[in-house]
Amino acid sequence: MSEFLDIALSFPPVVFSFGLIVVVLYWLAVVVGALDVDAVDGGADPEVEAGGFWGAFGFGAVPVTVVLSLWITLGWIVTVLGTTWVRSADVFIPAAASGIAVLVAGLGVGMLGAKLLTRPLSRLFDDAPATGHADLVGKIGVVRTGTVTLDSGQAEVIDEEGAVILINVRRSPHEPEGIDDSLFARHSKVVVFDYDAADQVFLVVPVALPPGLEVVEA
């Protein structure tokens, strides 16, 4: 274990190691609902569109967070394996030269691998906008984050063609009092009743509201 840490924190793997920690923390935050990945709107960040920086490398309409996550992860794997091989080689290789060579290989192979892996993923993001926001209003979804609040939350809904779509959802600021927070817990069923165009999120309520309660649309 100590040898592995020594390699991971040496040059050039260390260039990717700290980035990998950020990637892991980011996706953990996505899983628990602290951050969102906008799947319905395609998640196409400006930098990734055809005319942007990432588009110049052929990544297409894929969120920049996905591209960077794949690039950093693959680059880290390549540099760790490359550094391990250099240290175990029988021939003498200058540390500076080998380090730079492994770093270049990590950057290049990481980008190439990310490009190959994002091709099938881009289809998911390209297909998502085909479902309009209005088409999802009235749909029943299942909460996939730890809970749904006024600031965060995600749920899965099924569109008219039977495709499962992950959407960003929120509780309504006009929600009446008396709705238990447990009704918005993971795996709970909610109804999409409106779309907030300003924040680009769907507003939801539990499938079964307490008697006498009504929700006012935003």
The verdict on residue 139 lying in a domain is yes
Average pLDDT, the chain: 80
Q: Is residue 218 in a domain?
A: no
For residue 216, is it within any domain? Answer: no
User: Do residues 88 and 30 share a domain?
Assistant: yes
Are 19 and 94 in a shared domain?
yes
d(C-alpha 97, C-alpha 109), whole Å: 18
| DSSP string computed for 117-151 | HHHHHHHHHHHGGGS-HHHHTT-EEEE-SS---SS
Residues 161 and 55 in one domain: no
Choose one of 76, 99, 129: the last residue of a domain: 129
List of residues 6+ apart from 145 with CB closer than 8 A: 31, 32, 33, 152, 153, 154, 155, 186
Q: Which residue has the higher pLDDT, 176 or 193?
A: 193
Residue spans of alpha helices (H) in the chain: 2-8, 13-32, 64-88, 95-127, 133-136
> Can you read off the two tokens belonging to residue 64?
């920049």
Cβ-based neighbour number of residue 149 at 10 Å: 14
User: Is 216 a residue whose pLDDT tops 90?
Assistant: no
How does pLDDT run across 134-190, given as a tens digit for each residue?
788 999 999 999 999 999 999 999 887 788 888 999 999 888 888 889 899 999 999
Q: Is residue 121 part of a domain?
A: yes
Question: What is the domain range of residue 17?
Answer: 2-129
Q: Is the pLDDT of residue 130 over 50?
A: no
Q: Look at residues 129, 157, 191 and tell me which one is the last residue of a structural domain.
A: 129
Is residue 85 domain-shared with residue 145, that is, in the same domain? no
CA distance linking residue 68 with residue 47, whole number of Å: 12
CATH number at residue 143: 2.40.50.140
Tell me if 214 is assigned to some domain.
no
* Nearest residue to 143 via CA among 88, 74, 94, 202: 202
Give dist(CA 102, CA 13) in Å, integer.
9
Tell me what pLDDT residue 96 has.
85
Is 97 in the same domain as 136? no
DSSP β-bridge partners for residue 169 = 202
Please indicate, yes or no, whether residues 102 and 7 belong to a single structural domain of this protein: yes
Dist CA 149 CA 15 (whole Å): 37
- For the stretch 42-62, pLDDT in tens is 444 433 444 455 555 556 557
- Total domains in the fold of the chain: 2
Question: Where is the domain boundary, 107, 129, 151?
Answer: 129
